Chain A
Amino acid sequence: MSLDKPYAGIPGTTIFDAEQSRKGYWLNQFCMSLMKAENREKFKADERGYLDQWPMTEDQKLAVLSRDLNRCIALGGNIYFLAKIGATDGKSFQQMAGSMTGMSEEAYRDMMIGGGRPATWTGKEEKK
Chain B
Amino acid sequence: MARITASVYTSHVPAIGAAMDLGKTQEPYWQKVFSGYDFSRQWIKDNKPDVVFLVFNDHATAFSLDIIPTFAIGTAAEFQVADEGWGPRPVPKVMGAPDLAAHIAHSVIQQDFDLTIVNKMDVDHGLTVPLSLMCGQPKEWPFKVIPFAVNVVQYPVPSGMRCFRLGQAIRKAVESFDEDLNVQIWGTGGMSHQLQGPRAGLINKEWDNRFLDRLIEDPEGLAGVNHIEYVKEAGSEGIELVMWLIARGAMADVAGGRKPTLKHRFYHVPASNTAVGHMILEN
Contacts and interface: CB of A to CB of B under 8 A. Distances in A.
Interface string A13-25: 1111110010001
Interface in B138-153: 153
A110 B183 CA distance: 41
Give the interface centre of B198, B228, B236, B270 by most chain A CB atoms within 10 Å.
B198
State which size class the interface on B falls in: 35 or more
A101 B82 CA distance: 29
B60 A28 contact: yes
B87 interface: yes
B236 A78 contact: no
A79 interface: yes
A34 B64 CA distance: 12
Chain A interface helix/strand/loop/mixed: helix
Contact of B155 (A18, A70, A79, A101): A18
A37 B154 CA distance: 26
A10 B231 contact: yes
Given A40-B85, A93-B272, A94-B15, A10 B65 contact: no
Contact of B197 (A12, A81, A83): A12
A119 B207 contact: yes
Interface stretch (A46-54, A55-63, A84-92): A84-92
Interface residues of A, number: 54
A18 to B, nearest CB: 7
Given A18-B154, A25-B65, A112-B270, A84 B85 contact: yes
Contact of A119 (B86, B227, B232): B232
Contact of B272 (A28, A94, A101): A94
Contacts of B83: 35-37
A88 B232 CA distance: 31
A112 B232 CA distance: 18
Given A29-B66, A79-B196, 6 more contacts: A81-B64, A86-B85, A94-B15, A96-B195, A97-B196, A118-B202
Interface of A: 6-7, 10-18, 21, 25, 28-29, 31-32, 34-37, 40, 69-70, 73, 78-81, 83-84, 86-88, 92-94, 96-98, 100-102, 108, 111-113, 115-119, 121, 123
